[in-house]
Amino acid sequence: MATVVLLAATGLGLGALYFLVAAGLSLIFGLMDVLNFAHGALLSIGAYATWWAASGHLPGAGSGGAGFVLAVCFGTAVGTLAAVVLELALIRPLYGRPREQVLATVGVGLAVPALLSAIWGPDARPFPGPAALSGTFGLLGARIPVNRLVLLGAAAVVLLALRLFLGRTRHGLVVRAGVEDRAMVTALGIDVRRAFTLVFAIGGAAAALGGALGGLYYGSVDPGQGTSLLIFAFVVVVMGGMGSVAGAALAAVGVGLVQQFANYYTTSGLGDLAVVVLLAALLLLRPRGITGRLA
Amino acid sequence: GCSKAGTAGSPSSGGGDAKSGAAAVDVGLVYSRSGPLAAYGKQYIDGFHAGLDYATHGTGKAGGHEIRVTEQDDAGDPAKAVAAAKTLIGKGTKIIAGTTDSGVALQLAPLAAQNHVLYIAGPAATDALTGLNAYTFRSGRQSYQDILTAGSLLGGTGGKKVVVLTQNSAFGQANVAAVKEVLGSGQGATVDSVLAPPSAGDLTPFAQQVKSKKPDLVFVAWAGASAPALWTALDQQGVVTSTKVVTGLAGIASYPLFGAAGSKVSFLAHYFPGAGNNPVEKAMLDGIAKAGGTPDLFSPDGFTAAQMIVHAVEAGGATDPAAMAKALEGWSFQGPKGDEQVRAADHALLQPMFTATLTGTGAAAEPQLVSRLPKEAVNPPMKQMAG
Amino acid sequence: MTPAATPATTPAASTRKAAASPEADADAPPWRRLGRWWPALVLVALVTAPFSSLSLPGLLDGPIGSAGSLQLLALCLVFGALATGYDLLLGHTGLLSFGHALYFAAGSYSTELIAAEAGLPFWPSAVLGVLCGVALAWALGSVALRVSGIAFSMVTLAFAQAGSILVERDPGGVTGGEEGRAVPADKLPASLAGIDHTANLYWIALAYLVLTLAVVRWAVRSPTGRVWEGIRDNETRVEVLGLRPYGFKLVAFVVAGALAAVGGVVHLLLTGGATPQTTTSDFTLSLLVMVVLGGSGSRWGPLLGGVLYTWADHRLGDLAGSDAVSGLPSVLRVPLSQPLFLLGTLFVVTVVALPGGLTRLGRRPRVRA
Amino acid sequence: MAPPVLRLRGVGWSVGGATIVDEVSFDVREGEFLAFIGPNGAGKTSLFNLISGLVPATRGSIALDGADITAEPVPARARRGLGRTFQTSSLWPQVTVAGHVRLAAQAAAGGSYRIWRRAADFREQVADVLERTGLAHRAHARAAELSHGEKRKLELAVLLVGEPRLMLLDEPMAGVSAEEVPALTALIGSLHRDEGRTVLMVEHHMDVLLGLADRLAVMHHGTLLALDTPQAVTADPVVQEAYLGEAL
Amino acid sequence: MSGEPLLAVRDLAVVIGGRHILHGVDLDVAPSGVTALLGRNGAGKTTTVRAVLGLVPRTGSVRLAGEETVRLPTHLLVRRGIGYAPEDRGVFAGLTVAENLRLAERPGAGEPAYDLVHELFPELKARARQPAGTLSGGQQQMVAIGRTLLNGNRLIIADEPTKGLAPRVVTEVARVLERAARAVPVLLVEQNLALVRRLAGHCAVLADGRTVHRGPAADLLADPDATRRLLGVGRRTAVTEEHPMAPPGPDPSSAAQAGKAGA
Ligand SMILES: Nc1ncnc2c1ncn2[C@@H]1O[C@H](COP(=O)(O)OP(=O)(O)OP(=O)(O)O)[C@@H](O)[C@H]1O
Ligand SMILES: Nc1ncnc2c1ncn2[C@@H]1O[C@H](COP(=O)(O)OP(=O)(O)OP(=O)(O)O)[C@@H](O)[C@H]1O
Ligand SMILES: [Mg+2]
Ligand SMILES: [Mg+2]
C-alpha cells in the first residue's frame, strides 16, 4: 500500500514537472505551429539563472525563503528574455516558413547547452533550495518528498494562468489566425508580430519556470537537463492533442504515473519504453491526441 | 605528385629521417576535449603532461627519443575517435593513448591491433578492455577493482546480503555481474540488484525498493546527471541511515552532489588528491598545479599513461610497438597511487585502491582517507588474452 | 455560342509566350553546356583522390591521400549519401520522420551481430543486415504511415526512441548497451582491415554515395516520384486522381530505409563498430540539419549539407582546440572551444541567412536578374 | 435497359448533429448533363463530396454502373472513372502546371510503384489539354504563382486529362473572367456533347447552365427540391424565390 | 472624377520571384461610390489590390487621402480605415465564424457593427460557433464581406466578392455594396459586368500588369467596341481572332510608364 501511495504521489510530482516543461511548448506549438526544439535550452537557461542567483550571486536572492522566491523569479525573467530574443532574432525573420523555424530552434537547442557547458562545465551543479522543501512528509505510510507539492502547486498555477490568457485575451486568437494566414491578419489591421512575440515570451517564461523548479526536483542543474526532459515534453504535448493546454496537463499526469508504475513493476524498468509505446498506440488509434484538437 | 592509394603522407618506412638513431617518437592522445566527458578529459590530459614531465625528468625525451605529443578531440563519439586515430596512425604514430569513454576505447582497441600500434586506454573502466588484444593496455582502474574495494568495506561478506543499486545499462549490468562474481561466488554473499532506468526522472521508488530488501550492504554504481536526485532519494527514504551504503567517489565536482547523504556513505575511491601520499603523487600534484590545473579523480590515469609510454620507449625502442608491448608486460613501477604493475597475462593494471568518507557539505565537502588497499588486495580476476 | 467543333482556345495562349521558357537552355553558351558535365568531373576527382598527395591545410589534417583524410572524406561521403536518402522522405515526399536513425543503426548492428554471433563472413552478413534494415523499415513504416502530419513524425520518433532505449538496455547482451559493439578484427575482409586499406573503405563509401544518388534521382523522376511530389503538396488531391498515397509513401519509406541500412553497413566498416549514438533521435536530427543546410528537395543540396556538416563536426573540434582559439579573450574563447556551439550557431545562421539552403546560393542572382 | 451510370438512393450525411445532406435519390444516365443549383450552403458541394467519397455517406447507397460504391475509398472510386474538380482550388502549390496535368495523366494510365522506370511521357496529351484550357503559356509556372482564374482552369485541366467517364464539376466558372466564360462553356459543352461524357456540375452562372444542362437539380437545405428540365425548373416560383431572386 | 481621389495609385510596380507582375498601375478611387477594377484572368487585379495594402513588395506611390502610404506596414495602413475582402476570402478555417468576426474588431475604433452584419447575413449569426473551414463557399464569402462592414471603414476593397454566390445573394450583396458605397467608397474587383454596370461609377481596366483604360464605367460598358477591345466581351467571333489587349491601349494615363515597360 505504502508503495502504491508513494508511486502515485511521486508519479503526480513527475507529471507536474512534465506539465511545467510541456505547458510552454504546448502553447507555442498549439498557437504558432512551431515545434520548439529550443524549449529545452530555455529551460536550462532558466535553471542556470535561478541557480546562479540562488547561490549568492544576485543580491537579495539566496537558497532560502524569500531569497529563493526571488531567485526563481530572476530565473524566469532571464528565460523569458531569452525567449523574446530568440523570437525576435530567429523566429520572426522566418515567419511563413514553419520548417525553417523549427530547424532554427534545433540549432539553438544544440548551441545553448554547449555554451552553458563551456561556461559552467559539463558537470552537474548542486542546486540550492530551501531546507523546508528538502524534507519528506508521511502519507499512508509513505515518505513523500515535500518539493513534489511545490511542483504540483506551480503546475496548477501555470495551467490556470494559461487558460486565462487563452480564454480572456485576443492574443491567442490572433496567433492562431496568424499561423493560418499571416497576411490576412495584418490586412485586418492587427500587428501580428507583437502577438507572436508575446506568446513566445509566455512559452519561454513557462519553460524557465519549469527549469527553475526542475532544478529543485533533481537537486542539481546540468547543461543537458533541459534537452533530456524535452522528449517527454514532446510526448506529453502530442498526446495532449497538439497544443491543448488542458490536454497536456492530462497527458502529463498520465505519462508521469505510467512511467513511475512501469519503472517500478516491470523487471527492467520499462517506464520510458511504456510511455513511447503508449504514445505510438494512442496516435495510431486517435491521431489527434486525447483531446482530439486539430492536428 | 601521386602515390599509392591511401598511403600519401605516411612516412617511408626505414626512412632516413632517423637522425643519429634518436628520431622523435610520436604519441597520439585521443581524448574528450569537448562533449559530455570533457571534464574527465581535462583531468586526464593534465595528468599526462605532468607524468611526461616526471618520467622524462623534464627533458621530454625517453631513451634519447624526443616524445612528440599530438592531441585529438573525440567529443565522446567513437566515429570521431576512430577518424582521429586513423589520422594519427596514417601519419606514422606508433603509440596512441587516451579516451575516457568505454565505448570509444572498445572501438579503438581493435584498430590498434589491426595496425600494430600500442594503445593505452585512459579512464575507461570497462572490464572488457582487459585482455582484449596484445597491443591494448590500460592506465586506469577497471570495474572489478572498484567492486573488490567495496567488498573490503563490508569486512567479510560471507552470508551477508548485498544489493547493487545501479542503472539498467551496460555499465550497470557490468557492475552487477562483477559484484555477483566477486562478492557472490567469490566471497559467499547473496547478491541482489535494483536496476533503475538510466533516464528515470524520479528515483524515490527505487530507494524505497532498496530499503524494502533490507540489505546489509548497498553498493551504488551510478553514472550521469541524476546522481543528486538519487542521493536525495536515498537520504529521504532513510536508506543511508538504515544500512551501510557504499559507492565510488567521483571527481571533486561531484562531492557536493551527495548532499546530506554524503557524510553517511562509505566511499571506495580510485583516487582523490592526497590519497597516494608518496613522492610520485607529490610530483604529480606539483606538476599539475604548476601548469595551472587542478588534480582530480583521473589525473593518475593520464600520469600513469605517460609513465608507461616512457618506459615502453626506453625499454622497447621507438619503432616497434610489439617490442614496446613486451616491455610493458609485467612491468612494476611506483605510480601516483602507489605500487602498480602491468599484469603480463592480460594487461590489467594492478594498483592500490582507497576507501574514504566525506566530511562537510556543499562546497566544503572533502574526502578523508580511511584505508589504502594494496594492489594485491584488489586483484581483478585473470582473463584469457584474446587474439 | 459557337459550335464547339473546334476546341475552344483562349486567345492568350497563342499570342503570349511565357517569358521564362526552359528552352532557353538550348542556345546557352558552350561553357554552360559543359557545366552540365561537372558531376562527372567531380566523380573522377573523387575516385582518384586516394592517389593524391595534395595538402589542403586547414581543410584536412594531412594530404588528401593519407589515411586520416580519406577516413574523414569517406565519412563525409557516407553522411552526404545518407542525407540524400533521407531527403527522399523529407524533401520529395514531405514526410518528416524523426526515426531515420533506426534503419541506419539496424543496418550496422545487425550486420555486426550476424557476423560476430552467427559467424557468417562479412559480405553475406552485410546483405542480411541490410535486409534486416529493410524489413524493419517496412514493418514500422507500414504502421507509422497510418497517420500523417505531425502524428506521423511523433510515431516515428516513438519507434526510434523505443529502439534507442532497447539498444541502451542491452537486452541479453546483444547490443553492448552504451558501449556498442566493435567488429572483431578477424571478421573483416583482409582487404578492408588496417589503416593501409583505408582507400578501399573510401571507395566503398563513394560507391554508396553514387548508388544513393542514382537511386534517388531515378526514383524521383520515375512515375512514383511524381506521385511523391503530389503527396508532398496535397495528399487528398492525389487520392482524387485514383492513387492510394499510402502505398507510395511506404515505397518512399522503405527505399529511404534501405539506403540508410546500406549506409549503416558502410559506417560499420568505416568506424569498425556499431555505436548507440547512431540510434538516437539526435542522430536523425543531425540528418535533418544536413538536409536543410544544403537545401531540401534539391538534387545536390542534401549531399552538400551532409558533407559540410560532417566535415565541420570533425574539424571544428580541431579549430576549437587550436592555438588561435586558446589565445583569444575568454568571452570569445569559452564559446568557441565548444564544437557543438559552433555547429549550432553555424546552422542557425544558415537557416536564417540562406533560405533554401546552400544550393540556393548559386541560384539567387538569376532570380534577381 | 443498362443501369444508370450513377444511382443515389436515400443518401444522407450528418456531421456534428446537423444533417447536411438528406435523403437524396436520383439516377444519372450515360452521357447526361445534370446541373445543380441551389442557395449557398444547400449541400451541393457536400453531395459531390459524398459521391466522390471524400466524406462517407451516413445513410443510403451510391452505385456506379450498378456496383455499390458506398463504402469504397476515394482512390477506388476514381479508378472507376469518377473525376471531380474542387470549388476551392485544391492543387499542388509547388508543382508546375504541366506537372499537374502530367501526374493526372499518369494516374489515369494506372498507378505503379516502380521506381526504376523513367516516367512515361504524356507530352502530347498534356500539351493538348493545356491548349484547350488556355493554360499553355503558363505551363512552367508553379500552381502557387497562378492567379485565381488560372487556378480554376488548371482544376479543369487536371480533370480533363484523366478522361473520366463521370465528371463532377464544382463551380468551374467562379472567378473566370467574363471574356473567357464563353470559351470554357464551349469546352465543357463539347465534353458532353461530342465526347459523350456524363457530367454533373454545380454552378451559379445560370446563363451558362441553361445552354448546357439536360436536367437541372435544385438543392435546398440538403434535400433535392426539384429535378427537371431547365425550363421547368427556372419557371418554378419556389426556385425563383429561394434561389434566383430578382435579376440584376 | 469628382473631387480629390480617396486613394491615388501611381506607377505601382510589383516584382515577385524575379517576375514582373505589375509594370505601372495607375488607379484612382473616387471619394464616393464604387470604383471597379476590371481585366481578364491574370491581368494583375488581385496583385494591385494586395500591393496597395502592402501585402506584396511594391514600388510606386499609393496615397490614401493625400497621405503617402507605400512605406507603411499593412496593419497600420489598414487601421487608417480599410476593410478588405480578399479574393480567396481569407477566412481562418480553424477559427469559428464568431472568432473570424471578432478578429476584425478594431479596439478603440468604436462599437463593431454586428447588427448590420447579422441583418445582412443571418446565416452568420446562426453559424457563429461553426469552424469557418466547414462553411460552404458562399457562406465563407459572407464572412469575408461581413468583416469589412464591421468597422466604420473609410474604404472597402472587395476582390470578386460575388464569386460563388447564388444569384439571389449576389443581388443582395450588390445591394449591400450599393448601400455601403453611399457612405464609404468601394474599390471593387469584379468579373460580373452586370454588377459593375449597376454599381460602379468609375472603372479602371488592367491588362498584363498595366492600366489600359480609366474612365466612367457607364461609358465603357455602353461602348461595345471598347468593351470588346478591353474586356473581351461582346461579339464572340472577334475575340479569338485578334488579341484585344496588346499592344497597350493608347490610354493617356499609361503613356507615362511607356518607357519602363518590359523586363
Ligand atoms: N464539417 C462540417 N461541419 C458542420 N457543418 C458543415 C460541415 N461541412 C459542411 N457544413 C455545412 O453544410 C452546409 C452545406 O455545405 P456545402 O459546401 O455543401 O454547400 P454548397 O451547396 O456547396 O454551397 P455553396 O454554393 O456556397 O458552395 C453548409 O451550411 C455548411 O456550413
Ligand atoms: N506569388 C506569385 N508569384 C509569381 N507570379 C504570380 C504570383 N502571384 C501572381 N502571379 C502572377 O501574376 C499575374 C497576375 O495575378 P493576379 O492574381 O493579380 O491576377 P488577377 O487579375 O487577379 O486574375 P484573376 O481574375 O484570375 O483573379 C498572374 O499571371 C499570376 O500568375
Ligand atoms: Mg459549394
Ligand atoms: Mg484575382
Q: What residue numbers bound the domain in which C89 lies?
A: 68-280
Q: What is the pTM of this model?
A: 0.85
Q: Which residue of C has its CA nearest to B84?
A: C68
CB A91 within 8 A of CB A191: no
- Is residue A95 in some structural domain? yes
Confidence check: pLDDT of C25 > 80: no
Q: What is the mean pLDDT of chain A?
A: 82
> Cβ distance D35 to D212 under 8 Å?
yes
Whether A272 contacts chain B with CB within 8 A: yes
Per-residue pLDDT at E117: 86
Ligand nearest the Cα of residue E165 is: 1
Bridge partners (DSSP) of residue E213 are E205
Quick one: pLDDT band at residue C361, thresholds 50, 70, 90?
Answer: low
> Is residue C231 situated within a structural domain?
yes
Give the pLDDT score at B18: 41
More confident residue, B272 or A29: B272
Question: What burial class does residue B323 get, using C-beta atoms within 10 Å of its C-beta: 0-12 exposed, 13-18 middle, 19+ buried?
Answer: middle
Write out the DSSP string of chain A.
-HHHHHHHHHHHHHHHHHHHHHHHHHHHHHHH----TTHHHHHHHHHHHHHHIIIIISTT--SSHHHHHHHHHHHHHHHHHHHHHHIIIIIGGGTT-HHHHHHHHHHHHHHHHHHHHHHH-SS-EEPP--GGGSSEEEETTEEEETHHHHHHHHHHHHHHHHHHHHHH-SHHHHHHHHHH-HHHHHHTT--HHHHHHHHHHHHHHHHHHHHHHHHHHHSEE-TTHHHHHHHHHHHHHHHHTSS-HHHHHHHHHHHHHHHHHHHHHSTT--HHHHHHHHHHHHHHH-TT-TT----
pLDDT tens per residue, range A37-53 = 888 899 999 999 988 88
Domain annotation covers residue A294: no
Residue A14 forms contact with B (CB below 8 Å): yes
The Cα A133–Cα A195 span in angstroms is: 37
Identify the pLDDT of residue C136.
94
pLDDT for the residue numbered E246: 31
Query: Which class for C369: exposed (0-12), middle (13-18), buried (19 or more C-beta within 10 A)?
Result: exposed
**A-chain residue closest to C155, CA distance:** A280
Task: Name the domain count of chain E.
Answer: 1
Q: Residue D9: what are its φ and ψ, rounded to 5°?
A: -130, 110
User: Is C250 a member of any domain?
Assistant: yes
For residue C106, is it within any domain? yes
Contact A114 C340 (CB under 8 A): yes
Q: Is C116 a member of any domain?
A: yes
Q: How confident is the model at residue C126 (pLDDT cuts 50, 70, 90)?
A: very high
Residue E84 lies in a domain: yes
Residue A196: give the domain boundaries. Answer: 20-224
pLDDT of C130 reads: 94
Is B137 within 8 Å of B349 (Cβ atoms)? yes
Site residues for ligand 1, CB cut-off 6 Å: D 15-16, 18, 20, 38, 40-46, 87; E 130, 134-139, 164
Residues A242-281 have pLDDT tens digits of 667 888 888 889 888 888 888 777 766 677 788 888 888 8
Cβ distance C263 to C104 under 8 Å? yes
From the CA of A67, how many Å to the nearest CA of chain C? 29
**Chain E contact set for C1 (CB, 8 A):** 236
Asked, for residue E207, whether it belongs to a domain, the answer is: yes
Q: Which carries the bigger pLDDT value, residue C110 or residue E151?
A: C110
Counting CB pairs under 8 A, whether chains A and D reach 3 or more, is no
Q: Is residue C149 part of a domain?
A: yes
Query: Confidence class of residue D112 from pLDDT cuts 50, 70 and 90?
Result: low
What whole-number percentage of chain A has pLDDT above 70? 92
| Residue A164 belongs to a domain | yes
pLDDT for E249 equals: 32
Q: CATH no. for residue E51? A: 3.40.50.300
User: Measured between alpha carbons, how far is A107 from E93 in angstroms, rounded to an integer?
Assistant: 32
Residues with Cβ within 8 Å of residue E182, at least 6 apart in sequence: E32
Ligand positioned closest to the Cα atom of E50: 2
- Across chain B, which has 387 residues, the per-10-residue mean pLDDT values are 51 42 83 83 92 90 87 86 88 88 87 89 87 90 86 71 85 82 76 82 82 86 80 84 86 82 85 89 91 90 93 88 90 91 90 89 83 87 76
Residue E236 is predicted with a pLDDT of 41
When pLDDT is averaged across residues D113-128 and rounded to a whole number, the result is: 74
Is the residue at A242 inside a domain?
A: no
Whats the size of chain A, residue-wise? Answer: 295
List the one residue out of D152, D140, D160 whose CA is nearest residue D176: D152
Choice among A120-124, B70-74, C104-108, E141-145 with the minimum mean pLDDT = A120-124
The DSSP H or E segment spanning D79 is helix D74-79
Cell 491601349, located at residue? E249
* For range A157-165, the mean pLDDT: 88
Within a domain: A96: yes
E residues 28-67 lying closer than 8 A (beta carbon) to A: 50, 53, 55
| Backbone Cα Rg of chain E | 18
- The structural domain count of chain A equals 1
Chain-chain contact of A295 with C351 (C-beta, under 8 angstroms): no
- In 3D space, the residue among E62, E38, E52, E50 whose CA is nearest the CA of residue E160 turns out to be E38
The answer to whether position E260 is within a domain reads: no
Lowest mean pLDDT among A193-197, B307-311, C255-259, D119-123: D119-123
E152 and A CB contact within 8 Å: no
Look at chain C and report how many structural domains it folds into: 1
Residue E234 has pLDDT above 70, yes or no: no
Question: Are A113 and A122 spatial neighbours (Cβ–Cβ below 8 Å)?
Answer: no
pLDDT at C6 over 70: no
Give the domain extent around E146.
7-254
pLDDT at position E248, please?
33
- Listed residues: CB within 5 A of ion ligand 4: D 148; E 46, 87
Buried b (16+ CB within 10 A) or exposed e, B148-169: bbbbbbbeebeebbbbbbbbbb
* Closest-CA residue to B69 (of B108, B133, B25, B115): B25
In a domain, C29, yes or no: no
Residue A286 covered by a domain: no
The ligand 2 atom nearest the CA atom of D150: 26
In this complex, the residue of C148, C296, C341 whose CB is nearest that of residue A118 is C341
Sign of CA dihedral D11, C240, D82, D89: positive
Report how far Cα B161 is from the mean position of its chain's Cα atoms.
28
Task: Give the pLDDT band (50/70/90) at residue C128.
Answer: very high
The pLDDT value given to residue B2: 46
pLDDT at E197 over 80: yes
Would you say E195 and E210 are in contact if contact means Cβ atoms under 8 Å apart?
Answer: no
Q: How far is the CA of D199 from the centre of ligand 2 (A)?
A: 29
Which residue's C-alpha comes closest to atom 25 of ligand 2?
E41
Q: Do C2 and E236 touch (CB under 8 A)?
A: yes
* pLDDT (mean) for C226-230: 89
Contact yes or no for C288 and A106 at CB 8 A:
yes
C313 CB-contact burial (10 Å; exposed 0-12 / middle 13-18 / buried 19+)? buried
DSSP state of D237: H
Which pLDDT tens digit goes with each residue over E94-127?
889 999 998 888 877 778 888 888 887 888 888 8
The DSSP output letter for B379 is P
Contact residues of B toward A, CB < 8 A:
34-39, 168, 195-197, 199-202, 204-206, 208-209, 212, 225-229, 231-233, 236-238, 251, 253-254, 256-257, 259-260, 362
Q: CA separation (Å) from C249 to B197, C93, C107, C301, D76? A: 35, 7, 21, 22, 17
Q: Say what the pLDDT of residue C356 is.
A: 72
Q: ipTM above 0.90?
A: no
Report the residue of A188, A196, A242, A294 to disrupt the E interface, i.e. the one with the largest count of E CBs within 10 Å: A188
pLDDT value at E75 more than 60? yes
Contact B83 C75 (CB under 8 A): yes
Grouping H, G, I as helix, E, B as strand and the rest as coil, residue E203 is strand
Mean pLDDT of C223-244: 88
